[in-house]
Amino acid sequence: MTPLTPLFPTALTIAGSDPSGGAGIQADLKTFHNFEVYGTTAITLLTVQNTCGVSRVEIMPVDLVMQQIQAVLEDIPASAAKTGALGSAEMIEAIGAEARHWTFPLVVDPVLFSKHGAPLASRNSGEAYRKFLIPYADVLMPNIPEAEELCGFSLESPTLIERAAKSLLDLGAKSVVIKGGHLEGDPIDLYFDSAGHRRLPAKRIQTQNTHGTGCTYAAAAAAGLARGKQRFAAIRAAKKFVTAAIRANFEIGHGIGPLNHWV
């Protein structure tokens, strides 16, 4: 059966579920909707969590996740895709084997831990990302701890951040965004590609309600790519969106609240 051409661009998110609605698949779909992109999903893991913490993580069988991806793509062609929490090295390898055949752009958010510090990937996932998935990333979006895990050294200076980005580009990623939210001062992100690097500045917003920031940022980047934006333009628009969503955050629950995806 020949797939029908959808009325809107489509984006596939391959990620975990957050029943409290602030991160993961739920945040991705909210973000896609804001950008007028039709969202499809493949759920890699289930969490038991709320704004106060994560108490359980169950990783889906790899073949079940692959069947989700294949079922969606054979019926609804993707304009872009993104990955979030993948859970295990075996999952990363299997998704990389699929991604090598994709002709649409892929955003890789190498999620290793939840906002509350709960592990969302196995210990050998860093090597799996380097070997199996980063080579097919159009945009790779690690935060500072994730970049350190992927590169194997601390990012304690701008020189080391640039060295880390170069090493990730050398693995095959077409562009790398190293997010600065974990640094002191304002959260300045750095975008790197073969032409060099550019800054994505923002003022730090004083709030604890930042649950789902990384998921939302990567989903917004994927939505921009799905709508035909060039990589840096998509990242710049995503940065603007996630900053506004943090600024408009609201109190819900008793812990770390979510962004406001209605901005």
Report the catalytic residues: 179, 210, 212-215
Lateral strand order in the sheet of 53-59: 53-59, 38-50, 10-17, 80-83, 106-108, 139-140, 175-178, 189-193, 196-200
Taken in order 231, 69, 115, 26, the sign of the CA dihedral is: positive
Q: Which two tokens stand for residue 166?
A: 């170069």
Q: C-alpha distances in angstroms, 33 versus 27, 28, 29, 65, 168?
A: 10, 9, 6, 23, 31
Q: Which two tokens stand for residue 159?
A: 């020189």
Q: Which two tokens stand for residue 242?
A: 């996630």
Q: Which residue has the tokens 């921009």?
A: 224
- With 0-12 / 13-18 / 19 or more C-beta atoms within 10 angstroms meaning exposed / middle / buried, residue 193 is middle
**3-class DSSP state of 169:** helix
Report strand pairing: 80-83 vs 38-50.
unpaired
